[in-house]
Amino acid sequence: MTVVILFVFGAIVGSFLNVWALRLNSGISLGGRSHCPSCGHKLGALELVPVLSYLLLRGRCRSCRPRIPLQYFLVEVVTGLVFVSVPAIFLPVFALFIVIAIYDLRHKIIPDSIVYSAIALSVIIRIYIGGTLWDFLAGPVLFAFLAAIWFFSRGRAIGFGDAKLSLAIGLLLRVARGSSAIVLSFWIGAAFGVLLIIFSHFPTLFGRHKKITIKTEIPFAPFLILGAWLGAIFQLNLLHVPLF
């Protein structure tokens, strides 16, 4: 029952995070009612139930019937799973991570206001939890590593926002899990990139008209956040870092 309650609460939060990410820097207030992106139909109470409304409506607007982006459903489900699997004290930061992932996927940039908030919360949580000197240095070390990649690649490999995001991840997860999150993000990102390149060469099967190459820009923040989530869940130590 606790798991169900956490999932439901997480799905509700995910619905809000989705709206926040979509309206961030768009000039649209968070206070406005949700509406269909196609026809502008104001959503009623029964259309705003996280996860269930999407399933019951079969992913279509009740008014004009075009498909509702799958993003709404996926964000609610993923946020519910995060709330079930991540320690409660980490949830505020992971909520910000989800906003960052959505925004980066849509705009290929990480908003400073959100990533700085994530860093500040991670610092507060690390101070509250405590730890060794290495636990406090994990964030700066991971930041320095990704910042070096950004600098020497002149921003072609990753963005500076990704380096700032790694600072929050390191502070939150400490050395072993934080470094594992970075390793996982590169592995998963590389595998995803290869699959995209392969699939893009079969437009009749996958509906792609633009060929994807190794030079195509792919947002990296979602992979960093996925790595952080997996590192937190499974308490990974892929680099066999000594636990001081």
pLDDT digits (tens, 9 = 90+) for 53-79: 888 888 787 767 677 788 999 999 999
Pair 3, 118 in one domain: no
- The total number of structural domains that make up the chain: 2
Q: Using pLDDT thresholds of 50, 70 and 90, give the confidence band for residue 217.
A: confident
58 and 119 inside one domain: no
Task: Say whether both 121 and 207 belong to one domain.
Answer: yes
Pair (53, 151) in one structural domain: no
Residue 105 counted as domain residue: no
> Within this chain, do residues 125 and 25 fall inside the same structural domain, yes or no?
no
* Per-residue pLDDT tens over the stretch 72-118: 999 999 999 999 999 999 999 999 999 999 999 999 999 999 999 99
Task: Say yes or no: 61 and 135 in one domain.
Answer: no
Domain final residue pick, 65, 85, 105: 85
Residues 244 and 179 in one domain: yes
Q: Which residue has the higher pLDDT, 200 or 72?
A: 72
Q: Which pLDDT does position 73 carry in this prediction?
A: 93
Looking at the domain assignment, is residue 94 inside a domain? Answer: no
Residues in contact with 185: Cβ distance below 8 Å, sequence separation at least 6, in sequence order? 220, 223, 224, 226, 227, 228
pLDDT value of position 140: 97
Same domain, 118 and 234: yes
Task: Answer whether residue 99 is part of any domain.
Answer: no
> How far is 178 from 176, CA to CA, in rounded Å?
6
Cβ neighbours for 165, distance < 8 A, ≥ 6 positions apart? 97, 100, 110, 115, 118, 221, 224, 225
Residue 239 located in a structural domain:
yes
Same domain, 35 and 128: no
Judge whether 51 lies within some domain.
yes
Q: Is residue 106 part of a domain?
A: no
Q: Are 21 and 99 in contact (CB under 8 A)?
A: yes
Domain membership flag for residue 91: no
Q: Are residues 54 and 117 in the same domain?
A: no
The residue range of the domain holding 16 is 1-85
Do 117 and 66 reside in the same domain of the chain? no
Token look-up 């502070």 returns 171
